[in-house]
Structure 1
Amino acid sequence: MSIQDEIAESENLRQLTDPPHPPAKVSVSKWDKYLDYQSSQLEKTRGHLMIVATVIASMAFQAAVNPPSELWKNDSQEKVCTAGMIRDTITNKGVNPHTHQLKLCDFGSAKVLVKGEPNVSYICSRYYRAPELIFGATEYTTAIDIWSTGCVMAELLLGQPLFPGESGVDQLVEIIKVLGTPTREEIKCMNPNYTEFKFPQIKPHPWHKVFQQRLPPAAVDLVCRFFQSSPNLRCTALEACIHPFFDELRDPDTRLPNGRPLPPLFNFKAQELSGIPPDIVN
């Protein structure tokens, strides 16, 4: 059974279906159910994403919590979905323009992380790759998904990818141009094999200049928490979900611009809430 089969009940996953006519000599067991969404509200014009703050918050929240990999941990392993998952949340085939509900798909590189076992470093679509992956790390955590989620949120705010690298090296250059040169300790956290490598010293770019518009302080703060060079300093999915930037979504009177209610955001399962302090759940 695949990971997508195991978590298929989530409302934010594109459902699998049996192919009607499997091609001969091709191993096909499941197809992603096609969703015919034409999300005109997400069309980009001259780099500006024409959606309001409530929609951005709703979509970013769903990207942060689905699938909630930090909430699926046990003593020896943790489920984590990597390549393709985050990127598909921002395509015009993955967002219902009427309900603004995200549908994640493409779990071809999803895997179970096991401590001590090396992983493949070349995963995840380039614009959404965490820096430790670019550094060739093979022992990484679900923090790579947190970075990707930050890329999704930043793209919603900017209307274009934040780190549009044309290659692995160029991707790292794009990250450094925004976050500045990582310190030796940060490089050690990403991949200790590169601690002696000499990087040009670049100062971080102020976030208000990155976005070139007036953003709520809470939005900037959350973006900063996503984009930490050290994986262990990034916020977790839970910390992101309880961030003040999403307070508007917790107001029962909040509606989408079209007057519809928000998509299901807080329909967590008991397994996902286990171990979380009751005051946070309530």
Structure 2
Amino acid sequence: MSIPSFGLGTFRLTGQAVIDSVKSALALGYRAIDTAQIYGNEADIGQAIAESGVPRSELFLTTKIWVDHYAADKLIPSLRESLAKLRTDYVDLTLIHWPAPGNGVGLPEFMTALAEAKKLGLTRQIGISNFNIELTRQAIEVVGKDQIATNQIELSPYLQGSRLTAFLKEQGISVTSYMTLAYGKVLKDPVLAAIAAKHKATVAQVALAWAMQLGYAVIPSSTKPENLASNLLAIGLRLDDEDMTLIATLERNGREVSPEGLAPVWDHEEQPQ
């Protein structure tokens, strides 16, 4: 995988909360951090990294371009601004945050600008987020599948996205799972609780291990050092075939995030299974 399988998410964290979360995570051994322009926390993360003393060369930083910056004359300047906030000369991965169909900037324009940002050395890798199969195909037509490091999508035991993930695997594009715990909803699931008890693990660890075992990268977030430490232990948890088969039965198309005007038509709606 060209991207780390485990990282720290920072969605909805700003100010001292995100500074503390990032510093705690780095002290625990996290080395990948995921942010976005719209999160409003890039400068806080830059401060936390600077204060942590962890060398930039050890870190994998991801940010995402917000829809207001998709135009060819805005994308690269906005990324330079992100770099200034993060106190770095480059990020390791830059994603288009949402496809935002109909926002006035065509996909070829923003994918071409994103590829140009890579050529300029502002980002080591590029990718997409929240793209369905058709839009991923369109992105591939513009930059080539080898240029797309990942599609970061909402996935959890309640939203398994089998058609999209199968397509991405076929194209050789890594999957990054966000909201793997479905806003905490999966933590109360009896099936997952039974699997957790069997392995003397937490339900969060089971959900994260499930995603990693399918080959996905995960980026859970927390403001609590004990949860950050606990989540990290998911890396060493191996689920057996019976566990994976049981988790497969939990699919319920339980999507938590689908903002109007930003989200695509999701694949299950186009072709019901």
TM-score category by the smaller chain? Answer: under 0.3
Relative to total residues, which structure has the larger strand share, 1 or 2? 2
TM-score, normalization by structure 1: 0.25
TM-score, normalization by structure 2: 0.25
Relative to total residues, which structure has the larger helix share, 1 or 2? 2
Structure of greater Rg: 1
